[in-house]
Amino acid sequence: MLKMTHVSKIYRTDTVETHALREFSLTVDEGEFVSVTGPSGSGKTTFLNIAGLLEELSGGTYELDGRDISSLTDSERSKVRNEKIGFIFQSFNLIPELNIFDNVDVPLRYRGFKAPERQRRIERGLELVGLASRMKHYPAQLSGGQQQRVAIARALAGEPRFLLADEPTGNLDTEMAVSVLDLLDEINAGGTTIIMVTHELSLAKRARRNIFVRDGRVSDRPPEIRLAASAGQV
Amino acid sequence: MELGPIWRSLTRNKAGSVLIALQIAVTLAIMVNAIAIMQERAEQMGRPSGTDEANIFTLSSTAFVPDTNIQSLIEEDLKLIRSQPGVVEAIATNSFPLRQGGSARGFQLEPGAGKETLTGAVYYTDEHAIEAFGTHLVDGANFAPNQVVWGGQNGDEWPANIIITESFAKTLFPDTAESAIGKTVFVDDTRPVQIIGIIDRLQAPWRNWGEIENTVIVPLRQEGQQQWYLVRTEPGAQDRIMPEVEELLAQSNKNRIIQSVRTMQEVRDRSYLSDNAMIKMLGFIVTLLILITGLGIVGLASFNVSRRTRQIGIRRALGATRAQVINYFRIENLLISGLGIAVGAVLAIALNLFLVNAFSLTPMSWYVIPLAMLAMWVVGQIAVIGPARRASRISPAIATRSG
Amino acid sequence: MFRYYLKLGLLSIRSNAALSALMVAAIGIGIGACMTIVTIYHVMSGNPIPEKSSSLYVVQIDNWSPDEPYDEPNEPPPQSTYLDATNLYSKGDEFRQVVSYKSSRVVQPPDAAELPFEVSSRATTFAFFPMFSVPFQYGSGWDTAADTNQERVVVLTQALNERLFGGENSVGEQLSLNGETYRIVGVLNEWLPTPKFYDLNNNYYEEPEEIYLPFSVAVAGEHDSVGNINCWKPFEGGYDAFLASECVWVQTWVELPTRDDKARYEQFLASYVEEQKTFGRFPRPLNNRLSDVLEWMDINHVVDDDVSVLLGLAFLFLIVCLLNTAGLLLAKVMRRTKDISLRRALGASKRTLFGQYIIEAGIIGVAGGVLGIAMTWLGLRGIEHIFTGMDFVQRLVVMDWSMVMLAVVLALVSAIAAALYPTWRAANVTPASQLRIQ
């Protein structure tokens, strides 16, 4: 379970204070597939960063699996990220100097798995996304859709409880986007909680629940989403 | 922990790593050989002269008026010096250790022209020499006063007895365990001289001479216009006595000049000035080199960090702790340095072989290479720590930024 | 186009100030270390008498022991016996020869209140001055008659004349040396042959002797040689026996302007040695040598081994600095691939990019060269400092214009060499590839 209560995030520069999140409260239950939408600058990405422990919060409380996150040290946060959270990014974020195998290997190394265990997980992950035959290739040799599938394999290899997706199809054409979303559905069906941040309403409707963010808060009335959601229920 | 991926990632971006590895290799080669030379010089400088250096000073007297009675001048001078309170002993000699000028003669075991000769440095002086130099008689006896003769400067006189160093005794008689005392050797092809005493050590005057320990004390006083006086004082008395003696001698006879009044320490410093300078120059070069290579590593690591900012953010997002990021760069440096150090060790040995061949340097001690390798590795680890720390402070949130 | 590149280069250097400073410093220090030693090497191995060095020859004839050579492998002695020096001098009077040796004298200053002091002296035949192009401030050397008649004449250096006569023209004045009176016939102008090629017995870089007097006078007065005396055959008796001995201690030189002269002199030497063999001398096979000034310097290793070792290490040091610079430049290029790719897409040719980066490296090279000159100066001062007490070193640490030019050229060439690979990489960035993916 992921539970944010009155979370705020303030970015300070010398002259300006920006409130990226204010009094942000949200609960996501085990096994949910939640989409988070909102206009540019609404605080979607900040929410994702905090949810994924990439940034610290300025106020409020954040519990992940019943554990208060705000009091953790940097390396404890790293451990939580590594063990409980998988990320899928808009720009794939594969490491260009590493081949596909080594890319999927990265979080497993930090997890401290032994070599045979890593090998098993990498192979399984790449099979799942249909790229088992490309292990020795480098990211630049793959298409965008293939790169994103590798990123998904990497996110899943550690068997995380939560999968955070940041505009996962933003750099993909429609056909590839659909296949990636199908993959996410499949993963969610397997019990992994998914939180997907997107500005595309057509994607958001694939989620079971939609959250609308505006001015750093969960908006009370996101009419467009409701419309879309009702359409999606057909 | 993740050698494999780091190595594979390095090979994707060879040139930069190869350049820094080469730099480390050449640095190591220079460093090892510079240290080897410094060590060689330090060892040479550290050789004891066999004299009581701390309490000896020397000066030269040059008589310049024709027909000066040199014999009586020397007798009077020595009498005067020896009478000074605090003076342990004084001699007139043609030279002394570390002076860089003197005489050497050939000694042979069998009489006759064309026989093999062994060269020994000779100090023409008298029965006070052992005490004055502060060396020690280990076998046989000192000269009796009546065994000391007067001679000209061209070596045409020769006394019947000599005292030699242990080292020269071994050179002359390498195969026998028995004492060299009483044995006869020949100078000038046919003149027999008997070895009556052996001293433990007394260096020849030339620092670079291969047979520097092969020295002979000859009980012959040369009647030259120029004389060296060597004065040994009681401990602590030198500073007082040295100017006194200079003044006394200058006043006692105006028909000569007293010059080059120096303590043995000054003589040593002058003698080894260029070796000392070589050590300083090489030390400076090594320091500068390590600094430059260290800065090079810092510069390249900094560039790698900024080039990989995004990658580091991604790794952090995927669960790398700060320590793991730091380790990444340290291991990467270890691999690059390892390559450089390995190549450098080979280069160092090759360069040393060349130097030994071309400039007859002493081959280096085996342990210099592993020590220098270790030092180079430490330099790399220190140099990389700053950029690695900076890398570890990159926020994982960078991963969610697009572009 | 050059000016545009220059502008781009300066812009790029300014935008990466810390990195550029590091590169300039690396080149500067490398050049400094290198040029410090090169300067010393240059002075040490310089030609001390360029206009004549190939017509002046040192004469070596092998009077050594039948059992072993003077030096391995079969080297004749570097000096002559008194007997041979004087024989060659008188028998070969159709050639211009000089025989001389170093000694020392005690000067009693004309001002009786001043203390006597010792000076180095050279006992020589008269042709020393014209043959070695020795410059005079006042008067001149002596003539052959003074040699023959053992006239007590003397030539002083400028410095000694300054000390004794306050720099006035002292020709004709009297000078007391070891209680004997000499007539001053000449005062030298400043003369510092480096190295002191005509006598490489002791320190190669010491100053020339302070006074010069006839060889015949010195021998008659039994002036001791302060150079090396090497003997292989025992002799008995006093100074006369020494003069007749097989001991070598006299430096013999001959001036042979043409090949023909040289051939004739070689013939003369050979017949002299053959003649001496009939008297039972020269037991070794004929082994005469004539070496000109530069050959003689080479044979005597005038450049100290330490300097050669340091020179080698200094060049390796420069290589380290270049590898350093190349690495940093490469890092810079790798980081700018996006920018380069964009330029390529906008129509920059490979050549254009190559030019741009080479000129940027050139600017860094020139800056490094200027810094290198300053470093060289510092290095030379440092060396002067650690050799305090060896006065001759002061003359080895002097930078002339050729060295300054060499420093800049070396820096420029080094920087461009270091830039070649990074520049090649930059020029080979493909126009579009870097634009698509972040």
Give counts: helices (H), strands (E), chain A.
8, 10
Whether residue B316 lies within 8 A of chain A, CB to CB, comes out as yes
pLDDT at B27 over 70: yes
Q: Which residues of A touch B13 (CB under 8 A)?
A: 97
pLDDT per residue as tens digits for the range B179-196: 899 999 999 888 999 999
CB contact under 8 A, C118 and B62: yes
CB contact under 8 A, B293 and C320: yes
- pLDDT, residue A224, reads 53
Instruction: With respect to residue B154, please indicate whether it lies within any of the assigned structural domains.
Output: yes
Average pLDDT, chain C: 90
Are both B35 and B108 inside the same structural domain? no
Q: ipTM value of the model?
A: 0.87
Instruction: With respect to residue B99, please indicate whether it lies within any of the assigned structural domains.
Output: yes
> Residues B42-46: what's their mean pLDDT?
93
Whether residue C386 lies within 8 A of chain B, CB to CB, comes out as yes
pLDDT per residue as tens digits for the range C387-417: 887 888 888 888 889 999 999 999 999 989 9
Are both B300 and B328 inside the same structural domain? yes
C-alpha C293/C-alpha C208 separation (Å) is 16
C-alpha C311/C-alpha C315 separation (Å) is 6
Q: Which residues of B touch C328 (CB under 8 A)?
A: 296, 299-300, 303
> Residues C216-245: what's their mean pLDDT?
90
Are both B302 and B391 inside the same structural domain? yes
Count of A–B CB contacts within 8 Å? Answer: 92
| Residue found by looking up tokens 């996150």 in the block | A69
- pLDDT, residue B306, reads 84
- Report in angstroms the alpha-carbon separations of C431 from A140, C342, C420: 16, 6, 20
Q: Which residues of B touch C33 (CB under 8 A)?
A: 285, 288
Burial class (CB in 10 A: 0-12, 13-18, 19+), C391: exposed
Are both B41 and B118 inside the same structural domain? no
CB contact under 8 A, A99 and B397: no
Q: Evaluate the omega torsion of the peptide bond into residue B396 and state whether it is cis, within 30 degrees of 0.
A: no
Are both B128 and B208 inside the same structural domain? yes
Are both B10 and B143 inside the same structural domain? no
Mutation to test the A interface, candidates B400, B401, B402, most A Cβ within 10 Å: B400
Which residue is closest to B293 within chain C, CA to CA?
C324
pLDDT at C32 over 90: yes
pLDDT at C433 over 70: no
Are both B173 and B84 inside the same structural domain? yes
Q: What is the pTM of this model?
A: 0.85
Are both B20 and B76 inside the same structural domain? no
CA distance A78 to chain B (A): 5
Cβ-contact C254, C290 below 8 angstroms: yes
Percentage above 90 pLDDT, chain B: 75
**Subunits with at least 3 CB pairs below 8 A relative to chain C?**
B
pLDDT at C211 over 70: yes
Instruction: With respect to residue B27, please indicate whether it lies within any of the assigned structural domains.
Output: yes
CB contact under 8 A, B5 and A102: yes
Whether residue B277 lies within 8 A of chain C, CB to CB, comes out as yes
pLDDT per residue as tens digits for the range A139-178: 989 988 899 889 999 998 888 999 999 888 887 888 888 8
CB contact under 8 A, A91 and B403: yes
Q: Three-state DSSP class for B54?
A: helix
Q: Name C99's bridge partners.
A: C252
Are both B243 and B376 inside the same structural domain? no
- pLDDT, residue A223, reads 47
Whether residue B290 lies within 8 A of chain C, CB to CB, comes out as no
- pLDDT, residue C62, reads 95
Whether residue B16 lies within 8 A of chain C, CB to CB, comes out as yes
Whether residue C327 lies within 8 A of chain B, CB to CB, comes out as yes
Are both B138 and B281 inside the same structural domain? no
Whether residue B299 lies within 8 A of chain C, CB to CB, comes out as yes
C-alpha C31/C-alpha C39 separation (Å) is 11
| CA angle in degrees (0–180, nearest 5) for C106-C110-C114 | 70
Are both B95 and B226 inside the same structural domain? yes
Identity of the residue in A54, A78, A106 whose CB atom sits nearest the CB atom of B400: A54
Domain chopping of chain C, boundaries: 2-45+304-437, 56-299
Instruction: With respect to residue B266, please indicate whether it lies within any of the assigned structural domains.
Output: no
Are both B30 and B169 inside the same structural domain? no
Percentage above 90 pLDDT, chain A: 36
pLDDT at C119 over 90: yes
pLDDT at B230 over 80: yes
pLDDT per residue as tens digits for the range C323-343: 999 988 888 888 777 778 887
Terminal-residue alpha carbon distance, chain A: 29
Whether residue B8 lies within 8 A of chain A, CB to CB, comes out as yes
DSSP state of B182: T
C-alpha A118/C-alpha A150 separation (Å) is 15
DSSP state of C135: -
Percentage above 90 pLDDT, chain C: 64
Which residue is closest to C334 within chain B, CA to CA?
B307
- pLDDT, residue C244, reads 93
The helix (H) or strand (E) run that includes residue B342 is helix B322-359
Select from B219, B254, B289 the last residue of a domain: B254
Q: Which residues of C touch B23 (CB under 8 A)?
A: 320, 323-324, 327
- pLDDT, residue C435, reads 46
pLDDT at A207 over 90: no
Q: Which residues of B touch A97 (CB under 8 A)?
A: 8-9, 12-13, 311
Q: How many domains does chain B have?
A: 2
Instruction: With respect to residue B60, please indicate whether it lies within any of the assigned structural domains.
Output: no
Q: Name A165's bridge partners.
A: A88, A196
pLDDT per residue as tens digits for the range A55-97: 888 889 999 988 898 888 988 999 999 999 999 988 888 988 8
- The DSSP result for C24-77, as a single string, is HHHHHHHHHHHHHHHHHHHHHTS-SSTTTTTTEEEEE-----SSS-SBTTTBPP
| Residue found by looking up tokens 């050799």 in the block | C387
Identity of the residue in B318, B397, B400 whose CB atom sits nearest the CB atom of A107: B318
Residue-range definition of the domain harbouring residue B331: 3-46+273-401
Q: Which residues of B touch A49 (CB under 8 A)?
A: 397, 400
Identity of the residue in C179, C241, C438 whose CB atom sits nearest the CB atom of B64: C179
Instruction: With respect to residue B268, please indicate whether it lies within any of the assigned structural domains.
Output: no
